[in-house]
């Protein structure tokens, strides 16, 4: 049964972990942008919950879990408080944002795919919603922080790791090999791919024979 892919307790635990690490990345970006405490809390909330709310609305899981589970609501606030008091030096914040964002990306591409499949979607749309769950909060975060979303930047490999992780989950379900171990490994694969893309500055291809020499504005 789809609902047995993860036990409810394990699914909830993974969601909370994903929410926490995404909230940390949102809060750290707010610090880098010199936001006040309210801005830190808002960016932590939307980063952590944005993708999950989008997924839940699309699959008909309403009201979304973000509004019915107090753990979902308060976890980002705890993360925001930690960032407010304990954030590292400014020059180290960007690396921390990228690390926690990659961790959230890996976790949410797995849990998002599982939840969509549990609500009766096919494997392909479930994987697509896994990607949306992983990337949606980051898009909202970047828009509110007045920078081009990582999802749309040619010099960022962002969606591809989430697509790989979600596809692995879909294939594991298809061949009846999905369990807590293989699901966790799928999240780790997405996480590591994202970190490798950052470390080695992997780039996505742009328009064929693009001849413009105009510089892209930096966020």
- Note the pLDDT of residue 2: 46
- Note the pLDDT of residue 60: 95
Respond yes or no on whether the N-terminal peptide bond of residue 63 is cis (omega within 30° of 0). Answer: yes
* Token representation of residue 157: 């490999």
Question: What is the pLDDT of the chain when averaged over all its residues?
Answer: 89
pLDDT higher than threshold 70 for residue 161 = yes
pLDDT in tens, 81-105: 999 998 876 557 778 888 999 999 9
User: Domain map of the chain by residue range?
Assistant: 2-199
- Note the pLDDT of residue 103: 93
Is residue 165 within 8 A of residue 189, CB to CB? The reply is: yes
- Note the pLDDT of residue 218: 46
pLDDT in tens, 3-40: 456 677 888 888 899 999 999 999 999 999 999 999 99
Higher pLDDT among residues 35 and 203, named by residue: 35
Integer Cα distance of 203 and 73 in angstroms: 35
- Note the pLDDT of residue 57: 96
Looking up tokens 């591409």, which residue turns up? Answer: 109
pLDDT in tens, 44-59: 999 999 999 999 999 9
Integer Cα distance of 51 and 154 in angstroms: 21
Higher pLDDT among residues 211 and 77, named by residue: 77
pLDDT higher than threshold 60 for residue 169 = yes
Integer Cα distance of 129 and 135 in angstroms: 10
Q: What pTM was computed for the model?
A: 0.86
């Amino acid at each position: 049964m789809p609902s047995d892919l993860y036990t409810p307790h394990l699914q909830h635990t993974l969601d909370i972990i994903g929410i926490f690490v995404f909230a940390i990345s949102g809060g750290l970006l707010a610090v880098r942008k010199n936001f006040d405490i309210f801005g830190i809390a808002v960016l932590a909330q939307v980063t952590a919950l944005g993708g999950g709310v989008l997924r839940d609305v699309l699959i008909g899981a309403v009201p979304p879990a973000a509004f019915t589970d107090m753990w979902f609501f308060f976890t980002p606030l705890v993360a925001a408080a930690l960032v407010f008091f304990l954030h590292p030096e400014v020059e180290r914040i960007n690396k921390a944002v990228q690390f926690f964002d990659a961790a959230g990306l890996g976790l949410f591409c797995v849990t998002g795919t599982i939840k969509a499949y549990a609500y009766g979607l096919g494997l392909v749309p479930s994987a697509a919603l896994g990607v949306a769950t992983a990337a949606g909060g980051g898009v909202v975060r970047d828009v509110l922080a007045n920078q081009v979303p990582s999802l749309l930047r040619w010099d960022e490999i962002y969606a591809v790791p989430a697509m790989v992780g979600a596809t692995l989950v879909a294939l594991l379900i298809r061949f009846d090999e999905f369990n807590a171990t293989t699901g966790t490994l799928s999240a780790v694969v997405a996480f590591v791919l994202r970190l490798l893309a950052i470390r080695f500055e992997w780039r996505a291809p742009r328009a064929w024979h693009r001849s413009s020499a105009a510089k892209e504005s930096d966020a």
